[in-house]
């Protein structure tokens, strides 16, 4: 029998195993479309639903673990989760020997219990009146009515909105509408690795990322760094396999198609990315640095949820502009464009675990090394 105390004990167990501090407020609730859900930043638990004899044990563990992952990802309590928590939940379940259930399998089991538990339309159906749904880029609906004729006969009436506004209403079974509008990603074949040695380093162009990382590798030889792959032309003093792996755009497209890249991005008309093999060939007890942008961070965090993330910020935008001018590599228009991008990146810095201001390269490298020693090495 699951209770609030038992859920807290399970989360304490996960915290100890992964060196995290996920401690949500857990309260009991009487009704809901799911036996566990988040409301106003708190975890709501419905005992009658969660302990129902027909709720599958795998589904229970998936729900508990996915919400644990949600609270970890949103640890700053912004209410916004930009990384799919299902990846971390899958990684935890795999490590703990728990069977993985897809979102569709979970919903199928929840729907079965929901229909037995509730008579009210408000709770027995996955959808709610007034809920807006998107079937595709061109077809959207709004739920205008729900009717029920027996346990397994729930009909949902929707009206077209958006591009199809004015077309007649349509009534579908709950299952049909769910299949049309709730096409969740089947994650059974997705790669997830809970290794804890990865350190993502990001920052705006001109902030000094490369200089800081070079200093880190010089002063702390126990740190390693991945080599990225790029489509840009090799410069005179660069070495293939050391600075970058240099490929054509056609080769890069093949790497994308073959799922060889954990992350990739387009910058200044050229592609950059990270091979899975670059990560997997390194021992998982050696800190490994990845210098990637914000989009890369998000992609990598899905595949490697325990990676630590560090954002290097400039002392100010004015100082960043001065550094770009001193480099002498860009026109005035290009500098202004990079500053605009930098401003957007700085606004997203809160999504990182740590932000370090690069006043001076050596002190910045020292501060990052201190973060790594406390959060990566200790967690081994």
d(CA 158, CA 169): 6
pLDDT of residue 86: 93
- CA 212/CA 216 separation, integer angstroms: 6
Cα–Cα distance between 367 and 373 in angstroms, integer? Answer: 10
pLDDT of residue 343: 94
Residues with Cβ within 8 Å of 342's Cβ and at least 6 positions away in sequence, in order, are 204, 205, 206, 207, 314, 317, 320
What is the dotted CATH code of the domain comprising 193-224+285-380?
Answer: 3.40.50.300
Residues 227-281: name the CATH superfamily. Guanylate Kinase phosphate binding domain (3.30.63.10)
The pLDDT, as a whole number, for residue 159 is 95
Which pLDDT value is given to residue 13?
A: 97
The domain spans of the chain are 4-104, 119-181, 193-224+285-380, 227-281
Q: What crossing angle do the helices spanning 57-73 and 85-95 adopt, rounded to 10°?
A: 130
CB 102 within 8 A of CB 189: no
pLDDT of residue 78: 85
pLDDT at res. 377? 55
What is the predicted pLDDT for the residue at 380?
A: 40
Q: How many whole angstroms separate alpha carbon 72 and alpha carbon 283?
A: 25
CATH 3.30.70 fits 4-104, yes or no: no
Classified as helix, coil or strand, 171 is strand
Q: How many residues does the chain have?
A: 380
Three-state DSSP state, 223 = coil
pLDDT one digit per residue (tens) for the chain, 380 residues: 999 999 999 999 999 999 999 999 999 999 999 999 999 999 999 999 999 999 999 999 999 999 999 999 998 888 888 899 999 999 999 999 998 898 999 999 999 999 999 988 889 999 999 999 999 888 999 999 999 987 778 999 999 998 878 889 999 999 999 999 998 778 888 899 999 999 999 999 899 999 999 999 999 999 999 999 999 999 888 899 888 999 999 999 999 999 999 999 998 889 999 999 999 999 998 999 999 999 999 999 999 999 999 999 999 999 999 988 988 777 888 899 889 999 999 999 999 999 999 999 999 999 999 999 998 854 44
Q: What is the pTM of this model?
A: 0.88
Torsion sign across C-alpha atoms 125, 129, 135, 141: positive
The two beta strands, 308-313 and 354-357, are parallel
């Amino acid at each position: 029998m699951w209770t609030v105390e038992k859920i807290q004990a399970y989360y304490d167990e996960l915290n100890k195993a992964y060196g995290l501090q996920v401690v949500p407020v857990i309260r009991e609730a009487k009704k809901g479309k799911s036996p566990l859900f988040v409301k106003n930043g708190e975890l709501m638990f419905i005992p009658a639903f969660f302990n129902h004899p027909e709720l599958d044990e795998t589904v229970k563990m998936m729900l508990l673990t996915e919400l644990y992952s949600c609270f970890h990802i949103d640890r700053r309590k912004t209410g916004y989760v930009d990384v799919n928590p299902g990846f971390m939940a899958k990684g935890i379940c795999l490590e703990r020997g728990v069977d993985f259930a897809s979102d569709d399998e979970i919903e199928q089991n929840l729907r079965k219990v929901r229909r037995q538990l509730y008579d009210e339309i408000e709770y027995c159906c996955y959808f709610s009146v007034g809920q807006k749904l998107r079937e595709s880029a061109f077809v959207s609906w709004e739920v205008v009515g729900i009717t029920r004729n027996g346990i397994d006969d729930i009909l949902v009436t929707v009206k077209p909105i958006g591009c199809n506004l004015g077309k007649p209403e349509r009534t579908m079974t709950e299952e049909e509408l769910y299949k049309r509008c709730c096409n969740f990603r089947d994650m059974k074949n997705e790669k997830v690795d809970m290794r804890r040695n990865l350190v993502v380093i990001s920052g705006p162009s001109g902030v000094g990322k490369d200089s800081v990382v070079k200093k880190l590798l010089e002063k702390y030889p126990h740190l390693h760094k991945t080599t990225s792959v790029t489509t840009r032309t090799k410069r005179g003093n660069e070495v293939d396999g050391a600075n970058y792996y240099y490929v054509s755009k056609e080769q890069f497209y093949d790497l994308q198609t073959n799922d060889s890249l954990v992350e990739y991005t387009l910058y200044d008309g050229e592609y950059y990315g990270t091979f899975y093999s670059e990560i997997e060939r390194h021992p998982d007890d050696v800190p490994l640095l990845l210098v990637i942008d914000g989009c890369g961070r998000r992609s990598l965090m899905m595949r490697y949820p325990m990676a630590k993330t560090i954002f290097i910020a400039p002392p100010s935008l004015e100082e960043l502009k001065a550094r770009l001018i001193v480099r002498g590599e860009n026109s005035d228009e290009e500098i202004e464009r990079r500053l605009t991008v930098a401003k957007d990146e700085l606004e997203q810095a809160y999504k990182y675990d740590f932000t370090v201001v690069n006043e001076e390269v050596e002190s910045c490298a020292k501060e990052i090394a201190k973060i790594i020693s406390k959060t990566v090495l200790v967690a081994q």
